[in-house]
Structure formats: C-alpha cells, structure tokens
Amino acid sequence: MSRDTDPARIGVGLSELLKRGDVAALGQLPQYDVILRSGAGGLGPVVPEAIRSFFRNTDPDAIAALAEIAKDKALSDGLRHAAAHSLAWMHTRESVPHLAALLDDESPELKQSAVIGLSFFANGVGVQSEDGPSMRYLNEAKPSEFSSSETAKYLGFDEERSDEFVAFWRDWWNQHRLDFPTN
C-alpha cells in the first residue's frame, strides 16, 4: 500500500510500516512530503502520528534516519516534530548527539523534544514503549553515569523556563560531547 498511487492508501501503508519500526519506510517519507503537506486523503496527520506515537526502533540506522528527518528544514513541520519526538522518547545513547543538535534549531517544539530526550537519557528514564498510556517505562529507570542532582532539576521540560532548560542541556552537552563519539 505504501507504494500505491492513491494518497490515502499510501498513508495507511506508510503509517502501518512506521508503527512496526520499518526503517525503509522512514526513507520513503521525503518523497511523499508534498502529499503529506496537502493532507490529501486525510494523510496529513496520519503518518506523523505513527512516527510520534509508535516508532520506537532503536537500531542506529533508524536513529540516524529520524535525525535526518528532524533536521531537514525542507520537510514539513509535522514530520520534523514527529521524528524529534520519537528520538526524545527513545533517548538512546546513539540518539544523544542528534538530540543535542536540535537544541540549536529555530523550532521551539524541536528544542523541547531535545531537552526531554537528553534529560531522560541523562537521568536513566526508561525508553517509552508502546505501553505509553500506562507510563510503565517511567518505573524502568536504570542508573546513569550522567545522573546528578543538577540533571534531576532539569528532568522533562518546563515551558515557562524553556530558555533555562535549553541552556542547561546545551551546557551539559558541551561538557559531555566527547563521551558520545560519532561516526
């Protein structure tokens, strides 16, 4: 269905593949962005929501693909925000450099996702799984070498103190960037 010519069928096919964590489906998104922007066949919100709520493939290729989508300013805000949100909720060690890069994005939503992802990683919060509504993952915290009383104060995100939160995590990244070698 994701390779059909009908926008509605494409949306259903892509969203189902994304819900299953299909990395190749992420690679198809840029070519369908125009259709997503137009909302043809109700496609507009369906695909970003599949990424935002369900895509939790922590494979390094998946992380890299999400990061590319999140930083590509030529893509729709819906796709970019969904990709950043997915990275934030996975917050694996591999995602940290990508999340840190989003701290300098113009979009407040991307900065918020970056802060949440970095804070959850540093404080050992478990990876959000498909049991999202039960929030069981919050009880699956693991000790983290990066956790401190300071990182605990900046866990999550406070919109009223957004500049402070972004500044804290930007400083944290600058102190720890060598702990996260990139290829």
Q: Average pLDDT in the 153-172 region?
A: 97
Token pair listed for 25? 């489906």
Q: At 131, is the pLDDT very low, low, confident or very high (cuts 50, 70, 90)?
A: very low
DSSP, residue by residue, 133-173:
GGTGGGG-----TT--HHHHHTSS--GGGHHHHHHHHHHHH
Question: What burial letters (b/e) apply to 72-108, b meaning 16+ CB within 10 Å?
Answer: eeebbebbbbbbbbbbbbbbbebbbebbbebbebebe
Q: At 127, is the pLDDT very low, low, confident or very high (cuts 50, 70, 90)?
A: confident
Note whether 63 and 55 are within 8 A (CB): no
The closest alpha carbon to 167, from 153, 178, 180, belongs to: 153
Percent of the chain beyond pLDDT 90? 61
Q: Average pLDDT in the 75-99 region?
A: 94
pLDDT of residue 47: 87
- On whether the pTM is more than 0.85, the answer is yes
Dist CA 77 CA 79 (whole Å): 6
Question: Is it the case that residue 86 has pLDDT exceeding 90?
Answer: yes
**Where on the phi/psi map is residue 26: left (φ > 0), alpha (ψ -120 to 50), or beta?**
alpha
Kindly report which listed range (2-16, 18-32, 101-115, 161-175) carries the lowest average pLDDT score: 2-16
Kindly report which listed range (41-50, 81-90, 119-128) carries the lowest average pLDDT score: 41-50
pLDDT of residue 183: 58
Helix, strand or coil, per DSSP, at residue 2: coil
What is the chain's Cα-based Rg?
A: 16
The closest alpha carbon to 71, from 117, 23, 111, belongs to: 111
pLDDT of residue 37: 64
More confident residue, 39 or 73: 73
